[in-house]
Amino acid sequence: MRHAVYSEFERDLAPELDAIRAQGLHRVLREIGSPQSAHVRIGRRDFINFSANDYLGLANHPRVRAAAIRAIQCYGVGAGASRLICGSLSPHQRLEEDLAEYKDTPAALTFSSGYATALGAITALLGRDDIIVIDKLVHACIVDAARLSGAQLRVYRHNDLNHLEAILQWAAKTGAPARANTRPRVLVVTESVFSMDGDIAPLREIVGLKHRYGAWLMVDEAHATGLYGEHRRGLVDEFSLSPEVEIQMGTLGKALGSCGGYICGARALIDLLINRARSFIFSTAPLPAHAAAARAAIRIVRSRLGERLSHRLWQRVHEVRQGLGNTRFECPPGHSPILPLIVGPEQAALRAALELRRHGIHLPAIRYPSVARNRARLRLTLSAAHSPGDIRQLLTVLAGLAAFNAQRQPRGARRSTLDPQPSTLRASTG
């Protein structure tokens, strides 16, 4: 009986799955039988892992692990319910105090993920009479939040200040009569370090524009927190813009090695989110162990150890950028631990990833919808946990991969599936 229903349902779904496969976009989960670290175990083999966002190697750091274990011993595992329903556990409270101090803002609020953070914060702040202006390459959670808010959505070309200004001019003129006394709210959202391209937003100029046109600014520091600035707070702080950015957002799941998301900003912002952010109100609080682990990670980031780890990370970035010169892979210039090796066609990126895997390198292809169609890439991320030997092996394999590729390429057939097409690469740097 049950099987009959299942098979009919599966027939309904099959064409869509077939279409995904036909486009080279089908994905499956790959089981990892070890901690997430610079090396991972897949099946019976060990791989060097160049795919995680664990930039400082804190996801499996002894001090972070110990903090999580202690929290489980003191507070158990589950949080029981939403924090507004059954009370807010001490680890969550302490984490928010620590975050506010770390980011040098009056207050902070945490959510169960970065995704839930964007959804909750943007829909709490904007409604149908408002306008949201986003960079073309912002993360899916911001796009989804913008749509869910019902606000008018305008997208500016990636890091294009002229386009942003044109939209802000339009926004300043529009909408005013719709609500008698209130102007529409206009919110600009950008990432500081872009997740798939590893490039950096012109934050100073964006702040200048948002002042000129009376807009608010939200900056997603998912890939900058823990890495930039004297105190490793992120790029907003490195550019000394903290008091000028209304909403600072980030995740606890990348350099901070744990899980969850946060908003840092004014006390009133945090109070409003506690009362209006639906992904906060209607969701069970994260594990107290998540919060305790994130606190331990923040403590490390702010310490001398954090300074050493970030120094080591930037050293690895330098080594790889230098070494790429001996391969046929090119990477757009930038200053982040995310190095996109753009391949282009989805199938070609998949084959390149497969070839790397044969050589013990875990570096999956990133495809649509994570990036635009035909912009598939090997998204290489580095960590302070990588050893110089790991980097040498990566570069040797990448050099061999390009050579292997060139040998097999028939004369004139420039579009080999493994060839990182030079024209695409050049376009991405411009």
Ligand X SMILES: *Cc1c(COP(=O)(O)O)cnc(C)c1O
The least distance separating ligand X from the CB of residue 191, rounded to whole angstroms, comes to 5
| Using rule CB under 6 A, residue 220 touches ligand X | yes
Torsion of Cα atoms, 216 then 97 then 123 then 258, to 10°: 110
| Using rule CB under 6 A, residue 195 touches ligand X | yes
237 an active-site residue? Answer: no
In the bound state with ligand X, the residue whose beta carbon lies nearer, of 51 and 195, is: 195
- Near ligand X by CB under 6 A, which window of 219-227, 238-246, 321-329, 383-391? 219-227
Residues 53-72 that bind ligand X (CB under 6 A): none
User: For residue 62, what are its two tokens?
Assistant: 């002894």
CB-closest chain residue to ligand X:
114
Strand order in the sheet with 261-265: 107-111, 261-265, 247-251, 216-220, 186-191, 131-135, 152-156
Q: For residues 305 and 383, is the Cβ–Cβ distance under 8 A?
A: no
| Using rule CB under 6 A, residue 114 touches ligand X | yes
Nearest Cα residue to 324 out of 241, 249, 401: 401
Interface with ligand X (CB under 6 A), residue total: 13
Q: Which of 92, 103, 139, 185 binds ligand X (CB under 6 A)?
A: 139
The least distance separating ligand X from the CB of residue 290, rounded to whole angstroms, comes to 11
- Evaluated on CA atoms 28, 32, 38, 44, the torsion sign reads negative
Measured CA to CA in angstroms, residue 393 lies from 45, 323, 399 at distances of 16, 11, 10
The angle formed by the CA atoms of residues 173, 177 and 183, to the nearest 5 degrees, is 70
- Near ligand X by CB under 6 A, which window of 39-47, 220-228, 231-239, 358-366? 220-228
The least distance separating ligand X from the CB of residue 154, rounded to whole angstroms, comes to 19
| Using rule CB under 6 A, residue 261 touches ligand X | yes
Q: Which residues pair with 45 in a beta bridge?
A: 42
| Using rule CB under 6 A, residue 191 touches ligand X | yes
Q: Which residues contact 324 (CB under 8 A, 6 or more apart)?
A: 330, 331, 339, 341, 395, 398
Instruction: List phi, psi (to 5°) of 73.
Output: -65, -35
220 an active-site residue? Answer: yes
Catalytic residue among 223, 290, 362, 386: 223
405 an active-site residue? Answer: no
Q: Which of 113, 152, 190, 248 binds ligand X (CB under 6 A)?
A: 113
Q: Which of 51, 105, 225, 251 binds ligand X (CB under 6 A)?
A: 251
| Using rule CB under 6 A, residue 192 touches ligand X | no
Measured CA to CA in angstroms, residue 299 lies from 36, 77, 231, 304 at distances of 21, 22, 11, 10
The position carrying tokens 């989805």 is 346
Q: For residues 270 and 262, is the Cβ–Cβ distance under 8 A?
A: no
Q: Which of 141, 255, 293, 371 binds ligand X (CB under 6 A)?
A: 141
Catalytic residue among 92, 103, 210, 254: 254
The least distance separating ligand X from the CB of residue 3, rounded to whole angstroms, comes to 36
Residues 313-372 that bind ligand X (CB under 6 A): none
290 an active-site residue? Answer: no
The position carrying tokens 């099959």 is 14
- Near ligand X by CB under 6 A, which window of 111-119, 209-217, 269-277, 305-313? 111-119
Q: For residues 206 and 165, is the Cβ–Cβ distance under 8 A?
A: no
Q: Which of 253, 288, 344, 345 binds ligand X (CB under 6 A)?
A: 253
Catalytic residue among 139, 290, 362, 386: 139
In the bound state with ligand X, the residue whose beta carbon lies nearer, of 120 and 253, is: 253
Q: What is the DSSP letter of 325?
A: G
254 an active-site residue? Answer: yes
Measured CA to CA in angstroms, residue 164 lies from 141, 246, 289, 347, 420 at distances of 20, 18, 41, 34, 31
- Point out which residues bind ligand X (CB under 6 A): 113-115, 139, 141, 191, 195, 220, 222-223, 251, 253, 261
Active-site positions? 53, 139, 191, 195, 220, 223, 254
